[in-house]
């Protein structure tokens, strides 16, 4: 940890939040002289204070430790660059428009890289929707947990459940990328 960089970051975040050194000190349970010392780069917060300091300042622990905030590249609102994260413990699905620091069940999650499937899902247009189906196994241990359609400006997602057939309808909001997640093989994509 670079004390000077971390101190500058703490000072900048405290000012953004409109907090005085005394208010920040009270929020994390230290004296205002400790906050002053951190901000001048003459010391750093005790490790036991970092989670609460992170919460109060609204920044991740990694940013506090590195002393820098990583700005994501502007994606210009293009949903086709959506990042998907799936928790291996609880199956929680989290999405973000660009790279993000994501965790669930105490684990840091990495964005999934979609791959081309050997056997794509069957997609046919019926009325005003895409009918998506597949003979893919749908058991508790091996199933497709979601199917999503991404266009340049929209995301439509259907959650699927084990022991149900893999059949769903997605509103036809244009052509785009169909994503789906197999609990054993990962994230897949195909153009529709």
| pLDDT per position as a tens digit, 47-81 | 899 889 988 988 888 888 888 876 544 444 467 67
This prediction has a pTM of 0.62
CA distance 137 to 148: 18
Give the residue from 94, 99, 98, 117 showing the smallest Cα distance to 178. Answer: 117
Give the pLDDT of residue 73.
Answer: 41
Give the pLDDT of residue 115.
Answer: 96
**What pLDDT digit, counting tens, does each position of 99-156 carry?**
788 999 999 999 999 999 999 999 999 999 999 999 999 999 999 999 999 988 888 9
Three-state DSSP at 57 gives: helix
Beta bridge partners, 130, equal 125, 170
Give the pLDDT of residue 75.
Answer: 42
Please determine, looking at this structure, whether the domain spanning 79-191 carries the CATH number 3.40.50.300.
no
How many CA atoms does the CB half-sphere of 9 hold within 13 Å? 24
Write the Ramachandran bin of 14: left for phi over 0, alpha for psi from -120 to 50, otherwise beta.
alpha
pLDDT greater than 60 at residue 46: yes
Top pLDDT among 175 and 5 is at 5
Over residues 151-179, the mean pLDDT reads 90
Domain boundaries defined on the chain: 3-66, 79-191
Give the pLDDT of residue 76.
Answer: 46
Give the pLDDT of residue 36.
Answer: 93
Residue 13: Cβ within 10 Å count = 20
Give the pLDDT of residue 78.
Answer: 60
| Average pLDDT value over all residues in the chain | 89
Q: What's the CATH fold of domain 3-66?
A: 434 Repressor (Amino-terminal Domain) (1.10.260)
């Amino acid at each position: 940890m670079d004390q000077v960089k971390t101190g500058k970051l703490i000072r900048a975040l405290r000012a953004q939040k409109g907090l005085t050194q005394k208010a920040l000190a009270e929020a994390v349970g230290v004296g205002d002289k400790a906050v002053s010392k951190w901000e001048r780069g003459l010391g750093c917060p005790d490790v036991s204070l970092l989670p609460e300091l992170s919460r109060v300042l609204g920044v991740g622990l990694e940013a506090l430790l590195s002393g820098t905030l990583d700005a994501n590249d502007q994606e210009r609102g293009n949903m086709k660059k959506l990042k998907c994260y799936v928790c291996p413990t609880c199956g929680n699905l989290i999405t973000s428009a660009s790279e993000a620091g994501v965790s669930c069940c105490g684990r840091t999650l990495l964005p999934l890289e979609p791959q081309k499937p050997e056997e794509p899902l069957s997609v046919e247009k019926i009325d005003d929707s895409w009918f998506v189906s597949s003979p893919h196994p749908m058991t508790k241990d091996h199933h497709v947990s979601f199917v999503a359609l991404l266009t340049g400006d929209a995301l439509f997602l259907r959650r699927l459940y084990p022991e149900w057939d893999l059949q769903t309808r997605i509103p036809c909001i244009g052509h785009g990328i169909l994503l789906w997640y197999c609990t054993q093989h990962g994230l897949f994509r195909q153009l529709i």
